């Protein structure tokens, strides 16, 4: 089956506020008659869902992490190279970013499945989002920010965290898209631009960005599917399949 590529998001204003520590999730929300990607912001101690447009996601110098001498992590760089890491498990002083399908509007709109993708990455380095199994098995790559067909297929009510590894400091943008499947009716997608400021000294340098917009109905499911929940993960790749 084929998927329609998400439409480009419209230009959005530069980030006017920052999140740099504590918990936050990305997720779909039905509001004002349309599906949107919003940010569930728990960083202040009071939960609120907010538009990610205008919010800078700061990955501070406290997130610097040297790569181990382990071939399983070669996709991130060479042993000893330093990455800026949003961790899979919470670390004090570092933003803890995940995604969820827990907003009540998913139940009200009778959503049966959500497919997430991360794509259209721009910035001075690479970004890899992956799950780590603490040596029990090799890490599982989810997204590299470049391929819209790399998707995470998630049921409603799921909350997930993974590692987000940036190879260099600086100003990054990436589009986060949710494609929602209702029990009855056509699939529909929504996208948001994510603005990452990697390092304490990073400043906004991009001349363009994208904001939360609905994409509209889509024709079919994405071609590459990874099922991600908090612990068990099932990956189905176009070239070959793996099951855990």
Q: Is the pLDDT of residue 154 over 50?
A: yes
Domain edges within the chain: 17-242
Average pLDDT, the chain: 83
Out of 5-14, 118-127, 170-179, 198-207, least confident range:
5-14
Q: Is the pLDDT of residue 198 over 80?
A: yes
Q: Is the pLDDT of residue 180 over 60?
A: yes
Beta bridge partners of 232: none
Q: Is the pLDDT of residue 229 over 50?
A: no
Beta bridge partners of 18: 56
Task: Read off the pLDDT of residues 203-218 as tens digits, 9 standing for 90 and up.
Answer: 987 444 444 444 445 4
Out of 14-18, 151-155, 179-183, 193-197, least confident range:
14-18
Q: What is the pLDDT of residue 206?
A: 43
Alpha carbons 31 and 28: distance in angstroms, whole number: 10
More confident residue, 232 or 146: 146
pLDDT band at 14 (very low <50, low <70, confident <90, very high): low
pLDDT band at 219 (very low <50, low <70, confident <90, very high): very low
Beta bridge partners of 78: none
Q: What is the pLDDT of residue 136?
A: 87
Tokens of 29: 């929300």
Q: Is the pLDDT of residue 52 over 70?
A: yes
H/E segment holding residue 122: strand 111-122
């Amino acid at each position: 089956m084929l998927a329609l590529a998400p439409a480009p998001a419209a230009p959005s204003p530069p980030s006017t506020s920052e999140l740099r520590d504590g918990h936050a999730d990305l997720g779909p929300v039905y509001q004002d008659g349309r599906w949107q990607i919003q940010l569930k912001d728990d960083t202040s101690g009071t939960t609120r869902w907010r538009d990610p447009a205008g919010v800078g996601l700061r990955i501070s110098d406290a997130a610097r992490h040297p790569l181990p001498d382990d071939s399983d992590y070669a996709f991130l760089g060479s042993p000893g190279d330093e990455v800026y890491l949003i961790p899979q498990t919470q670390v004090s002083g570092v933003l803890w970013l995940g995604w969820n399908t827990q907003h009540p509007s998913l139940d009200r709109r009778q959503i049966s499945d959500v497919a997430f993708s991360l794509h259209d990455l721009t910035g001075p380095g690479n970004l890899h989002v992956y799950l780590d199994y603490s040596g029990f098995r090799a890490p599982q790559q989810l997204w590299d920010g470049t391929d819209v067909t790399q998707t995470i297929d998630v049921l409603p009510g799921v909350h997930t965290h993974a590692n987000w590894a940036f190879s260099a400091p600086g100003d990054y943008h990436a589009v986060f898209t949710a494609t929602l499947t209702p029990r009855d009716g056509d699939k529909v997608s929504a996208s948001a631009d994510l603005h990452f400021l990697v390092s304490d000294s990073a400043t906004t340098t991009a001349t363009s960005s994208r904001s939360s917009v609905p994409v509209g109905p889509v024709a079919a499911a994405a071609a590459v599917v990874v099922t991600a929940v908090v612990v068990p993960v099932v990956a189905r790749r176009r070239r070959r399949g793996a099951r855990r």
